[in-house]
Amino acid sequence: MSEAAAISAAVLISGSGTNLQAFIDQVDDGKLDIDIAVVISNKPDATGLKRARKAGIPVECVEHEAYPDRESFDTALIEALDRYSPDLIIMAGFMRILTPVFINHFAGRIFNIHPSLLPRYPGLDTHQRAIDAGDEWHGSTVHFATEELDGGPRIIQGTVPVEPGDTASSLAARVLKVEHRIYPKAVALFAARRLVYRDGAAYLDGTRLDEPLQYP
């Protein structure tokens, strides 16, 4: 454990929570010095909530369908998160586009992971788009979340080859394995106070990250 207190993190999920499990495992193994204060989902049946409960992590559900618009949902989500005072918001398969209200409230403290080598293929269907384009390499990117969808400063990327005969599903499965490695690495840098968001950019050890770190 580091001498400084572990940072408090809140994890947002919508589905199975495999990236959440990667964080839980690394915390349990002593490889990641964070306190997962809460896991919040917009879907009450998200499998990831079961993972959190099994690990003894508080869970909450803020159902987006209960709110008339994105802004009111985001306001409710902010209220739920603020009860835990997180230092970092980790979006791990959270399938909601956040409004400026949310982004600005937690500015510089929101991580997202996107299944492509950004800036290629923001948005959906990234694996099929990479196959259709004939790309030799594909992967995933951890970045700071900003008001620009999938456009915030990139922190780290993990790459996998696009193999002959790949389908979107087979490619997605290999990318997911890489995500489980790179996402904790990015969070560890933030937890160690080595990685910060400043003036619209990511800085590592005081140096601006104009290009993301690469894994492997």
Query: Active-site positions?
Result: 114
CA distance 51 to 129: 31
> Do β-strands 195-198 and 201-204 pair in parallel, antiparallel, or remain unpaired?
antiparallel
Measure the CA angle with vertex 153, ends 198 and 97; round to 5°. 110
> Do β-strands 137-144 and 154-161 pair in parallel, antiparallel, or remain unpaired?
antiparallel
Measure the CA angle with vertex 147, ends 145 and 151; round to 5°. 60
CA distance 163 to 214: 20
How long is the chain? 216
Q: What is the DSSP string of 23-72?
A: HHHHHHTTS--EEEEEEEESSTT-HHHHHHHHTT--EEE--GGGSSSHHH
CA distance 203 to 208: 4
Q: Which of 179, 199, 208 is nearest to 90 (CA)?
A: 179
Instruction: Compute the Cα dihedral for 209, 179, 181, 193 and give only its sign.
Output: positive
